Structure 1
Amino acid sequence: MNENFEDRDEVLDTVRRFERMVAQNEPVFFDLADFENIIDHYTTNTQYDKALQACEAAIAQYPFSTELLIDRSQVLAMKGEYGAAAQQIEDVAQLDPDNPDVAVTRGIIATQKGDFAEAVAFFQQAAEHTQDRDDIFFNLGLAYQSWQKFKSAAKYYKQSLRLNPDNDVAVQELLYCLEISERLEKNLEFFRRFTDDDPYSAVAWYNLGQAYYRAGKFDDAISAFDYAILIDAKFHEAHGFLASTYVSLERYRKAIEEFELSYPEGQPTPEALCNIGECYEKLAEWDNARKFYQRAIDQDATIDEAWFGIGIVMNAQERYFEAIHFFRKAVSLYEESVEYWLALAAAEYQIGNVVSSIEAYERATQVAPDNKDAWLNWSILLYEQGNFDGAIDLMRNAVEIQPAEAELHYRLCAYLLAAGRYREAYQCLENALVLDFDKHRLLFEYFPELESQQALAKLIDQYRK
């Protein structure tokens, strides 16, 4: 594993040197392997414009390298420039028709375009000509995964990992496919086999730990990550995952210790700082939480979780005006988070900004129409404002979107009763009782005074099993 870290540092140095030369308009000279590493670094980080720039610089220096022409075609495909990508790979095919990378690249273009059957055929063709290339099986996995055929995708990711167990992206994709097809439990043996074959492989233990973590087997995950760290104390990613496992077990002090080992000494990442902040937040140590969130923001002002974290800290201290400032910032950085909108809505309501609160609830229901809390909290606000009809309309809307959610039916029933619309309320109550009889207690939690209503009690009794 340590070798990998040294390699990675060398590649990063090369990338930095390349970027410096480009920025200063100096002539760029690297050997072919360095250029390959630079291009690979950019594509792995989805920086396709920079990858293309590196391809052009490399081709200017090595105009006859088919590898570079193939790289250029693949990068164009990833940028969505399919015509140019196809033209480039056809040119290569003229020069070197038997190169398996021609078929691989045609497959990558087809995957990007959404022609999955065609992509699979190209990759199979490439695999026939060469048996030991993990990247071909990895691309087959990606094509099947994009095609939503998760079982087939998992099969090829496994083949890829048998050839190259160090491909962390393949591990992540495999775990995702097994999880979504609910086959993770059955496949834990696949990951265990790597540790049996090579008990001194830190990567094998790390991958096994991730599989246990995803399967919710946290104690097993801790043991596996511990082994990885025992073999390689500087395995930062393993420390990071071990920390996340402790978070899942609500052992926040242990998590903080591990997060502090999840980066090279003295070089904390914004993510690690933010995670440490969140652990302190869970421990209700507000000053420490705020301090670490702030350090994360100082390093990366676009880290929405840290802005949100400070908002939560302010909120917990009933400093709502300040909380709103941080929640708004979080929402501006990441508009798709229902959690952010709900927190903002609640804080706005706390200081009497009813209109702003309603706007935030509306955004929450747009972002996540199937989040029942967004509808419930918004309706409570309208109800408390005396707008019974508004609350009723809102709940009807919510019930239409989530007809199987009993709690929404009970809430609608309560609002109808409050508005004196008894016939509709009883109809609604019947639906709710059929869906989930036990939740009828919620009615009396919302409105204790309903306990004394005879008609209501009679109706509920009819549905007792």
Structure 2
Amino acid sequence: MQLSDEEDDYNLSLSKFESMLKTNKVLFFDSEEFEEIILHYLDMGKANLAKKALKLALEQHPKSTGLKLVQVEMLIYEDKLDTAEKLLNELYAIEPHNEEIYIQKASIYSKRDNHEKAVELLKTALKYTDDFADVYNLIGMEYLFMDNLELAKENFIKCLEEDIEDQAALYNVVYCFEFLDQNEEAIEYLSQYIERNPYSEIAWHQQGRLNYGLKRYEEALRAFEFATYIDDEFLGAFMEKAKTLERLKRYEEAIESYNRTIELDDPTSYALLRIGKCYEKLGNKSMALKFFNRTVHEDPLLDKGWIAITDFYVRQKNFQKALYYVNKALHIDNENRYYWKRYATINKELNFFEEAEHGYRKAVEFGDYMLDTWLFWVDILQFLGEFDTAVQTLLQASEYFPEEYEVEYRLAGLYLMLQEIEKGKFHLSNALRLNFKNHLLLEHLFPVVWEMKLVQKAIEKHSKK
């Protein structure tokens, strides 16, 4: 009841102040009321109203240290650091044991990027404060600014020892553990924290997330389930739970969890896409396609939605429709190597070889250096009779795969087709050395070259080694 009364008094003070501004009547407020009003407007980003309230406050309470400290906070907020520092020095002469003076001085040094001095002042504030949690939290933030994650973590843990409900500090502790690559230690810390605060949905969620990252999906699922039991509207936990159920191949339950996220908020294209993927894994093609279509309807610029439909039709061997949808994805992101590779593969299946060649070339141009991409590209160039371009492409591929027999057999065949005999013999020798067992690849790719006497002689010679 007391909290409710305090809230009523707080709201009454705000209403009274705003009414005063409208009527131009000057009403009296005590200094604490003014502090709450000013800080409320600062928190709301209403700096002008905060300034008006501060001006009236200092007129009614010119000697209030609390109000002057609020004035300092506002000056720091406006980056008027020298003025704020001067006022703090005046206050220090009056109240040298006021912890808020040290906290605000620390804030000034922090803004000047002197974080070591800020920490020093905050440690002094610890001697005079009753709110240890807040000061430890501030020290932790200063160490974060200095990239000293170990000391930051240590102070955020101290903050939580003082105030176990400080969610920001909990997130920061986990962040420090993760940045330091101490995920096991983070899970252990969260287990101890949960023993003291078993109904912290944030702690359970973070523990689940860490276990998921370590591929401990059963443990992750258990943690996410606890988070959703504690807060049945915790959208993030339901989303993570659904992802974990997918990993465990429990697709029907994953769909339920994704659907819960849609109930809690507007449907996201990500959730719709994953539901479609789950239905596809269950063999329910019509529902899969329905959700893929809902995905692109929800977010027409989500290229992953168009690619999901593309892959769906590729698996159905309906390459005409697949081509239509991969073009949609490329229209959104025409520098994505994975999309160009799909484009090339689909066109190859449709016997559109020039388009396929263009697709493989673009895939490599945008960073796809996989061996199969090079080889598919070269084989199409060869089919199109572009032997010189095929050779140059293979030489480029050999920079990434210097000891790859499939590259060497192709170089041998192409050089011999071009009547560059010495180069052909050199690469044939390399290919046979690297992988004699697969020498029939040459016959498959270059039947005319295969019949050449020098080729048969080289194979025979190598077989006797």
Length-normalised TM-score, structure 1: 0.64
| Structure 1 position 101, deviation (Å) | 2.9
Query: Are the structure 2 counterparts of residues 192 and 365 from structure 1 closer, same or farther at C-alpha, using a change threshold of 3 Å?
Result: farther
1:418 aligned partner, one-letter code: G
Cα distance change of structure 1 residues 387 and 67 upon mapping to structure 2, 3 Å threshold: farther
Query: 1:216 Cα deviation (Å)?
Result: 1.3
The answer to whether the Cα contact below 8 Å between 1:256 and 1:276 also exists between their aligned partners in 2 is yes
Measured on the aligned residues, the alpha-carbon RMSD in Å equals 4.2
**1:236 corresponds to which residue?**
235
- Specify which of 149, 152, 158 is matched with residue 156 of structure 1: 152
Q: 1:121 to 1:416 in 2, by over 3 A?
A: farther
In structure 2, the residue matched to 1:60 is 48
Residue of structure 2 equivalent to 1:177:
179
Q: Is 1:101–2:104 an aligned residue pair? A: no
Q: CA deviation at 1:254?
A: 2.6
Aligned to 2:12: none
Contact 2:208–2:224 under 8 Å retained in 1: yes
Pairing of 1:116-155 with structure 2 (within 5 A): 128=123, 132-134=135-137, 137-138=140-141, 140-141=143-144, 144=147, 152-153=148-149
Cα contact 2:136–2:155 (8 A) shared by 1: no
CA distance in 1, matches of 2:268, 2:344: 31
Equivalence for 2:268: 269
Deviation at 1:143, TM superposition (A): 6.2
Q: Using the TM superposition, give the Cα deviation of residue 415 of structure 1 relative to its aligned residue in structure 2, in angstroms.
A: 0.7
Post-superposition shift, 1:344? 2.3
CA contact (8 A) 2:307 2:326 kept: yes
- Higher RCO (Cα < 8 Å, 6 or more apart): 1
8 Å CA contact retained: 1:103, 1:125: no
1:260 alignment partner AA: N
- In structure 2, runs of 5+ residues without a counterpart are 1-36, 55-70, 90-103, 127-134, 161-165, 417-423
Q: Write out aligned runs for 1:9-24 (5 A).
A: none
Trace 1:12-411 onto structure 2 (pairs within 5 A): 58-63=46-51, 98-107=104-113, 128=123, 132-134=135-137, 137-138=140-141, 140-141=143-144, 144=147, 152-153=148-149, 156=152, 159-160=155-156, 163=159, 166-167=167-168, 170=172, 173-174=175-176, 177-178=179-180, 183-185=182-184, 187-265=186-264, 267-335=266-334, 337-400=336-399, 402-403=400-401, 409-411=404-406
Q: Within 2, Cα distance between the matches of 1:219 and 1:461?
A: 56
Decide which structure has the larger Cα Rg and report it.
2
Contact 1:140–1:153 (Cα < 8 Å) also in 2: yes
Contact 2:269–2:295, Cα closer than 8 Å, also in 1: yes
What secondary structure, in the 3-state scheme, does the structure 1 residue paired with 2:357 have? helix
SS in structure 1 opposite 2:380? helix
CA distance 1:33–1:297, change in 2 (3 Å): farther
How many residues align structurally? 369
Q: Matches of 2:346 and 2:245 in 1, distance apart?
A: 30
Deviation digits for residues 265-288 of structure 1 (CA, Å, limit 9, x no counterpart)? 473222211221222234443322
Shift, 1:250, TM fit: 3.2
Change (3 A) 1:189 1:317: same
Mapped to 2, the partners of 1:174 and 1:377 lie a distance apart of: 46
Once the 2 structures are TM-superposed, how far is the Cα of residue 158 of structure 1 from its aligned partner? Answer: 6.7
Q: Secondary structure at the match of 1:60?
A: helix
**Greater Cα offset, 449-458 or 155-164:** 449-458
Correspondence for 1:47: none
- The reply to whether residue 416 of structure 1 matches residue 415 of structure 2 is no
CA separation in 2, counterparts of 1:184 and 1:458?
Answer: 58
Letter of the structure 1 residue corresponding to residue 47 of structure 2: I
Tell me the SS of whatever aligns to 2:199: coil
One-letter code of the match for 1:220? E
* Contact 1:104/1:136 (<8 A) preserved: no
Q: Residue 140 of structure 2 aligns to which amino acid in structure 1?
A: F
After superposition, the Cα gap between the structure-2 partners of 1:93 and 1:172, relative to the gap in structure 1 and judged at 3 Å, is same
| Preserved CA contact (<8 Å) 1:392 1:412 | no
Q: Which residue of 2 aligns with 1:113?
A: none
Identity %: 21
Per-residue CA deviation, residues 71-120 of structure 1 (Å, 9 max, x unaligned), is 67xxxxxxxxxxxxxx766676666684433344444xxxxxxxxxx7x6
Amino acid paired to 1:101: S
Between the aligned partners of 1:37 and 1:237, the Cα distance in structure 2 is: 26
Q: Give the letter for the 1:415 counterpart.
A: R
- In structure 2, relative to structure 1, the CA distance for the partners of 1:374 and 1:425 (3 Å cut) is same
Q: CA deviation at 1:416?
A: 1.9
**SS, match of residue 262 in structure 1:** helix
Q: In the alignment, residue 417 of structure 1 is paired with which amino acid? A: A
Aligned to 2:409, the other structure's residue is in SS state helix
Whole-Å separation in 1 of the counterparts to 2:398 and 2:274: 37
Contact kept in structure 2, 1:382 and 1:391, CA below 8 Å: yes
* Cα distance change of structure 1 residues 384 and 449 upon mapping to structure 2, 3 Å threshold: closer
Instruction: Provide structure 1 residue ranges, at least 5 long, that are not aligned to the other structure.
Output: 1-30, 39-54, 73-86, 108-117, 145-151, 434-439
1:390-409 residue CA offsets vs partner (Å, 9 max, x unmatched): 33422332332x357x6xx2
Alpha carbons of structure 1 residues 448 and 319: separation in structure 2 relative to 1, 3 Å: closer
Aligned to 1:381, the other structure's residue is in SS state: helix
Shift in alpha-carbon separation, 1:214–1:336, aligned structure 2, 3 A: farther
Give the Cα–Cα distance (whole angstroms) in 1 for the partners of residues 74 and 442 of structure 2.
67
